[in-house]
Structure 1
Amino acid sequence: MKLAVATICSHLEHDGRWWSFEPFVLELNVWAELFDELIMVAPVEEGPPPPMWAPYAPQARVRVVPYRRQRGRGLKQERTSAGELPRMIRSLVVAARQADALHARAPGSIGLVAILLGRLLGRRRIAKYAGQWPEYDGEPRSFRWQKRLLRSLWWGAPVTVYGDWPGQPRHVVPFFTSVMSGEQMTAAAAVAAGRRPRRPPRVLFTGRLSRAKNVHVLLAALARLRRRGLELPLTVAGDGSERPALARQAAALGLASQVRFLGAVPHASMHRCYRDADVLVLASQTEGWPKALVEAMAYGLVCIGSDRGLVPQLLGDGRGLTVAPGDEDALTQALEAVARDPAAHLAMGRAAAAWARRFTLDELRESLRRLMIRSWHLPAGALGGAAPR
C-alpha cells in the first residue's frame, strides 16, 4: 500500500535522499516500515539541510509532491496565502490518486485542506493532531476549526490525539509518539537505575528557543535561586529566534558562567545531555506530546512541566512536578525544593523512568499497525507484513 501524507514540514533533496526536520523524519520512518511508499505533500526548498534536519532511512521509499517552493528555510516558513490554495488542492489530489490511503497531519494549512477534501478523495483516511487537543486561551482560530472538523462525522476516520480526553467521539483515539528506539530506551533505563543525588542538581532545557517555551522565565528563576545561595548549572540544548535575547538575559542576570547554550543538538547526541542532567524544565505555554519531557523521564530526570494540556497526565501520580507556564514564583519554588533535597526526588525520577520505557518507536509502529488494520478492516498481515514476535 502507498500512503499520501499532507504535512507542513518542509523537505529538500540532498545527496540523492529526501531530508526534513529530524523528529518528524524519525516518526515517519516508522510509517515507511508499514507502507510500500510515502508520497509527501509538503513544501520543498533547496540548499544544504539546516541544523536539526536528517535524511529518511535508506530503506524508506519517499517521494515528494510539492505544494510550495522556496517560501522559507527550515521551520521558518512564510504564512500560507489564499492564492496558494489551488496549488495545494492540485498537489493533494495528485498524491491521493497515486496512493491507497491519506494521512492528514494537523494543525497546518495543508492538513486543513486534506481534512476538508479527504472524504471526497475516496481513500482510506487517518489523521494526527500533533498539538494540544483541548482548546486553550490564545489558540489560533484555524486550529479550533481543524479540531472541530476532525471531531465531526465529515472526517469520520481515525484521529490520533495526545491524551485521553472525556466527551470525544469514538474515532478520536488517545495516542502517543516517540523518537527513541528500543536500544536507546534500554540505555536510558540503565542511566536512570544508576542515578544518585547530586548537589547542586544540573538543570536541562531542550527544545526550540521560542518565547512560548518560557526559557526566559527559567533564567529569572535561576537568578532568584542564586541570590538565595543556590547556584544551579543550566544547559540549553536547542536553537531558535530567542537565543540572542536569552544569552543577553543570562549575562545581565549574572548567569553567564552558570548557563551553557549548546545550539541545535542532533537527537543521536542527546543521550549525553540527559545523562549529565538531573532536572528537566519544560514549562511551555502549550504542548502536544512533549517528546523531550518523555525522553527525560526515561532517563530518570526530575521533570518540571506546565500544568496545561497533556503534561499533568504525563507527570501525574508522583512522576514529576507541574507549574503554571510563566509563573516565575512557582518555578523557583519547584527548583528550590529539588535543589535542597535531591535525594527525596530520586523516587520521582525512578517512577518516571518505569512509566516512560514503553514509548518506543517499535511500540509506535505496532500501535499504528493495529489501529489501521482495525479501522480499515484490513487482513492481519497487511501493512508491512505480520507484526514481529
Structure 2
Amino acid sequence: MRFSVFTHVVHKKKTQKVFAYAPYIREMNLWISKASEVRIIGPLEDSELDSIDSPYKHSNLNLVEVPSLYFKSFLGVIRSLVMMIPAIITIFREMRAADHIHIRCPGNIGLLACIIQIFFPGKNKTAKYAGNWDPNSSQPWTYNLQRKILNSPFFSRNIKVLVYGEWNYSSRNIVPFFTASYSNKEIKSFSKDFSPPYKYVFTGTLAEGKRPLLAVKVIQELINRGFNISLDVYGKGDKSSDIIEYINEYGLQDKIKLYGNQKPDVIKKALRNAHFVILLSRSEGWPKTLAEGMFYGCIPISTNISCVEWMLGKGERGILVEPTVDKAALEIETYLHSLQKLNVMSKKGQEWSQKYTLEVFDKEIKKLI
C-alpha cells in the first residue's frame, strides 16, 4: 500500500533520514507502520536538528518537497501565490498515485489537499484535524473552509476525519478521536504531595496563541499573593524573548525558569516532579501538555477552549480559568486552600489520561486504514 501524507509540518533531512517535530513524528510512525511505501508531501528546511526533532521510522519512505506557504505579509502572499501552482501540481500527482490519502489539517498545505482530494472520490482517505473543531470558535477563514470541505459528504467522499471532541452538526465523515504520548508500560499510580512549594510546568511552543506570557503573569500574581510557587517553562518560540525580558524586568529569575526545547525524558521527569501543568491558550485541538501532565498526576490549569472542558471533566479533573490575570489567579487560589480537592483531582486525572495510550491509539488507527 502506498500511503501518502499531505502536511504543512516542516521537515529536515540528516544522514538519509527525515526528521520533524517529535510529538507529530511519534503519531505518524503509528500511521505508517503497516504501509509498504510512504510518501510525505510537505516542506523541507535546511537547518540543524533540534532536541525536539525525531525521525520517521520506515524502510521505504520518501519526502516530496512542496514549499511552505505564508499569507501573513505582502511579500509572503506574492511568494506563496507564485509557488502555489507547482504545489498544486505536486499534490495532484501524488494523490493520483496514492492508495491511501492522509491529510493533516489545519494548514495551508492541508487546505490545498482538502480541495484537490475532491477530485479523487474513490480513493481511501483519512484526515486528522489537529486544531479546534468547535464551529462557534473564532478562527481564520482558511480553517473554516477546511472544516466545511471535510465535513461535507458531497465534497469529501470515502473519508474519515478525526477531530477532537464531539460537536453538533457533524456529518458521517467525522470521527471523534484523541491522541496519545505514553505507553501502557508507563502506567502507574503517581502520588503527589500537594503542599508548598508548588511547582508549575508549561510545555509547548512559546507562541502568541498559547499565551505563555499570560501564564507567567498568573504565576507572578500568585507569588504576590503569598504563595510559594515556581514555574518551569519548556519550549521555544516567538515569545521567548518577551518572556525573558519580563522575568528580568520583575526580578523573577529565581521563580520562573526557561529551559527551551528538551527531549521527552526531560519533560517526563519535570512532570513527575511537578504539581500543576498550565496552558492558557486562545485555541487548541487536543492540548497534549494537559493530557501528559494528567498522566503523571499533575493538575491541569487551562482556559475553556475546544474539547478542554471534556478533557477536564467539567472541572472534576482540572481547573478551568478565565484568560485574565486576576480571575485566573483567584480561581487557582481557591484550590490551593484545599489539599483534599487537589488529591482527588490528581487521581481522577491519572485515571482518565492513562486510558489514552499509544497502544490504544495504534489499535484505533488500524481500524481506519
Asked whether the two chains share a fold, i.e. TM above 0.5, the reply is: yes
Alignment check: 8 A CA contact 2:279 2:302 kept:
yes
Q: Superposition pairs for residues 1-389 of structure 1, below 5 Å?
A: 1-57=1-57, 59=58, 61-68=60-67, 81-121=80-120, 122-135=122-135, 138-152=138-152, 153-156=154-157, 157-184=159-186, 186=187, 189-190=188-189, 192=190, 194-317=191-314, 318-324=316-322, 326-372=323-369
**How far apart, in 2, do the equivalents of 1:328 and 1:111 lie?**
35
Amino acid at match of 2:301: I
Deviations 1:124-160 (A, max 9, x none): 1111111000135541110011111111121132111
Q: CA deviation at 1:42?
A: 0.4
Select between 155-164 and 245-254 the one with higher mean Cα deviation.
245-254
Q: CA deviation at 1:92?
A: 1.3
Partner residue, 2:73: none
Amino acid at match of 1:128: K
**How far apart, in 2, do the equivalents of 1:224 and 1:8 lie?**
38
**How far apart, in 1, do the equivalents of 2:9 and 2:210 lie?**
20
For 1:142, what is the secondary structure of its paired residue? helix
Partner residue, 1:376: none
Amino acid at match of 2:124: R
**How far apart, in 1, do the equivalents of 2:11 and 2:176 lie?**
28
Identity %: 26
Select between 40-49 and 338-347 the one with higher mean Cα deviation.
338-347
For 1:65, what is the secondary structure of its paired residue? strand
**How far apart, in 2, do the equivalents of 1:31 and 1:305 lie?**
29
Q: TM-score, normalised by structure 1?
A: 0.87
For 1:44, what is the secondary structure of its paired residue? coil
**How far apart, in 2, do the equivalents of 1:219 and 1:102 lie?**
41
**How far apart, in 2, do the equivalents of 1:248 and 1:231 lie?**
22
Deviations 1:33-69 (A, max 9, x none): 1322221110112232234211122x45321111128
Q: CA deviation at 1:256?
A: 1.6
Name stretches of at least 5 consecutive residues in structure 2 with no aligned partner.
Answer: 71-75
**How far apart, in 2, do the equivalents of 1:219 and 1:253 lie?**
11
Select between 86-95 and 239-248 the one with higher mean Cα deviation.
86-95
**How far apart, in 2, do the equivalents of 1:343 and 1:196 lie?**
11
For 1:38, what is the secondary structure of its paired residue? strand
For 1:202, what is the secondary structure of its paired residue? strand
Deviations 1:165-223 (A, max 9, x none): 12211111100111222223x2xx34x2x222221221111111112212222222222
Select between 94-103 and 140-149 the one with higher mean Cα deviation.
94-103
Partner residue, 1:377: none
**How far apart, in 2, do the equivalents of 1:198 and 1:343 lie?**
11
**How far apart, in 1, do the equivalents of 2:246 and 2:87 lie?**
42
Deviations 1:231-285 (A, max 9, x none): 3111111111111111121222332211111111122321111011001111111
Deviations 1:332-362 (A, max 9, x none): 0233233333343111010010011121121
Alignment check: 8 A CA contact 2:42 2:63 kept:
yes
Name stretches of at least 5 consecutive residues in structure 1 with no aligned partner.
Answer: 73-77, 373-389
Q: CA deviation at 1:104?
A: 1.2
**How far apart, in 2, do the equivalents of 1:225 and 1:45 lie?**
41
Partner residue, 1:385: none
> Kindly tell me: are residues 330 and 61 of structure 1, through their superposed partners in 2, closer, same or farther at Cα, counting changes over 3 Å?
farther
Amino acid at match of 1:91: T
Count of residue pairs brought into register by the alignment:
359
For 1:161, what is the secondary structure of its paired residue? strand
> Kindly tell me: are residues 276 and 120 of structure 1, through their superposed partners in 2, closer, same or farther at Cα, counting changes over 3 Å?
same
Alignment check: 8 A CA contact 1:209 1:239 kept:
yes
